[in-house]
Structure 1
Amino acid sequence: MTFANVGTLGTVSGKRDELVRHLTRRSETLRQVGCLAYEVGVNEDDPDTVFVVELWENEEAHRSSLTLPEVQASIALARPLLSGAFGGFRFEVVGSPLRD
């Protein structure tokens, strides 16, 4: 069953666009390990927040991805850009009007 991870990442003031550039670098590794979508967004009304929507083949694929050296390195590079304010939610996708 498809797993969704939706969240907000608070950034150090003025570092939002740098985090966006980092998070949107191409990663074939994520696709190979079961990431179906990884969308990064911003809202000008909230200039120190990055929004992320992830869809995964299942929750285990998401959890396993966090152990990969490439992902661990990416997290380490992003950490200094983050303020520590995080939000979001996770859920199992049960359907969509866009696909069977």
Structure 2
Amino acid sequence: MTFANVGTLGTQPGQLDAVVAILTRPNPALAEAGCLLYEVGTSQDQPDTVFVTELWTSAAAHQQSLQLASVREAIAEAMPLLTGEMSGFQYDVVDSPLRD
């Protein structure tokens, strides 16, 4: 069953673009680990917030991806640029009108 992880990351003032750059670096290991979609966005309504939407083949694939060296390096690089304000939710995708 497909697993969704959706969240927000608060960034230090002036660090939004740097965090987006870290999160959007090409990373083929994510697809190999079972990531189906990884979208990063911003909003003028919340100028110091990064929005991330992920779809995974399973919750286990998502958890295992957190052990990848490339993911751990990106997290370590981004952490000093974040405020610690994070929110989000996870859910199992039931179905979609876009799939057979």
Tell me if TM exceeds 0.5.
yes
Q: Which runs of 5+ in 1 are unaligned?
A: none
| 2:58 aligned partner | 58
Separation (CA, whole Å) in 2 of partners of 1:70 and 1:40:
17
Q: Which amino acid aligns with 1:26?
A: P
Q: Which amino acid aligns with 1:7?
A: G
The structure carrying a bigger strand percent of its residues is 2
| 1:80 aligned partner | 80
Secondary structure of 1:26 counterpart = coil
| 1:2 aligned partner | 2
| 2:29 aligned partner | 29
Tell me how many residue pairs correspond in the alignment.
100
| 2:97 aligned partner | 97
Cα deviations across residues 45-77 of structure 1 (Å, max 9, x unaligned)? Answer: 111000000000000000000011111111100
Q: Which runs of 5+ in 2 are unaligned?
A: none
Separation (CA, whole Å) in 2 of partners of 1:17 and 1:73:
18
| CA RMSD, Structure 1 to Structure 2 (Å) | 0.6
Secondary structure of 1:40 counterpart = strand
Identity of aligned residues (%): 57
How far residue 99 of structure 1 moved from its aligned partner, in angstroms, is 0.5
Separation (CA, whole Å) in 2 of partners of 1:56 and 1:93:
10
